[in-house]
Amino acid sequence: MTTAQLFASGIRVPLPSLVAMSLLWTGGLVWHLSGPVLAQHQSPTPIESTLVSPSQSLPAADPLKSPFPLPWAWIVAQQKLAALSHQAQTYSQKTATFISPDGLYQAQAELIFQAHPNFAQNQLTSTLTITNTQTQAVQQWQSTSLIDPELRQDLPPDGAGLIAVLWPVGWSASGEQLLIRHFQGLFSTDFASDVAVIWSRPQQTLTAVWPQSVDYDHATLLGWSQEQPDQILFQTTTMGDPKTQVWAVNRQQEMLARPSDRPRVYGQTLTPNSQAQSPTLLSPAK
């Protein structure tokens, strides 16, 4: 099993170092220090994760070069403040609000970063909130609640070093399903990988999906499949191998190679400090 599969199965393995990786980004949902803004964009070309050594400075980029990037510049900046002050600090930041195509549901996550002077003891988690705009009924999930019990037993009591983030990325074309990025990793290791979480509007439940029948070190969530809209696209990479693979995975964890497929997400986004943006189709950058 690879490190990503071991993590998903709840088995913890020793890893040498999580190092931030550079991000090639030309559009899409782009994070600035003040929050996300919406840009016009095309579908992404799969790109390879690039590891750097711990001695190098930390680039302000998503560790997986995700088309739905975490605000890594903000994370690095806050950790530097904690290191300079020699005191642990807690910071928070909200994502954009993701509105279903019919406007009935809204999804947003709040990122919680516990910055520690020692980089290995940082903790990054989030709370996902989905709201019915008619009834104001609210559902919430803590990102740590989806961690496998075996992995939880292996973590320190305070969860130091953990990265577990639920991050909404867009709706299905029908608006019946919300696609959520569940980014998992460990600070001061080279482990980082994505799991897709699907919120079903009819069932009001969460389902986790990720590539399971191939070996890889990093999986990056790309979006809904254009060719099979009920399936999810991932890019997988293996450390030391320049080749990447794109896979379509369904809810039953069945997967097929789809090198020519393109990802899609749908809906509207409302940034923290702006009015709703209303493209009929949102797609990550190319």
Look at residue 281 in the predicted model and tell me its pLDDT: 39
DSSP state of 8: H
DSSP state of 164: E
DSSP state of 282: B
Closest CA to 215 of 169, 190, 247, 187: 247
- Rounded CA gap, 265 and 258, in Å? 17
Boundaries of every domain in the chain: 3-277
Between residues 29 and 270, the one the model is more confident about = 270
- Rounded CA gap, 64 and 68, in Å? 10
Please determine, for residue 43, whether its predicted confidence score (pLDDT) is greater than 70: no
- Using 50, 70 and 90 to split pLDDT, how confident is the model at 157? confident
- Using 50, 70 and 90 to split pLDDT, how confident is the model at 186? confident
Rounded average pLDDT over 67-79: 93
Look at residue 276 in the predicted model and tell me its pLDDT: 43
Q: What is the pLDDT of residues 236-272, one digit of tens each?
A: 999 999 899 999 999 999 999 999 999 999 999 888 7
- Using 50, 70 and 90 to split pLDDT, how confident is the model at 219? very high
- The b-or-e profile of 54-72 (16+ CB within 10 A means b, else e) is eeeebbbbbbbbbbbbbbb
Between residues 19 and 212, the one the model is more confident about = 212
Q: What is the pLDDT of residues 81-131, one digit of tens each?
A: 999 999 999 999 999 999 999 999 999 999 999 999 999 999 999 999 999
pTM, two decimals, is 0.76
Strands of the chain, DSSP E:
29-32, 35-38, 89-94, 97-99, 105-115, 123-132, 138-142, 162-171, 177-186, 192-200, 205-209, 218-225, 232-238, 241-249, 255-257, 263-264, 268-270, 276-277
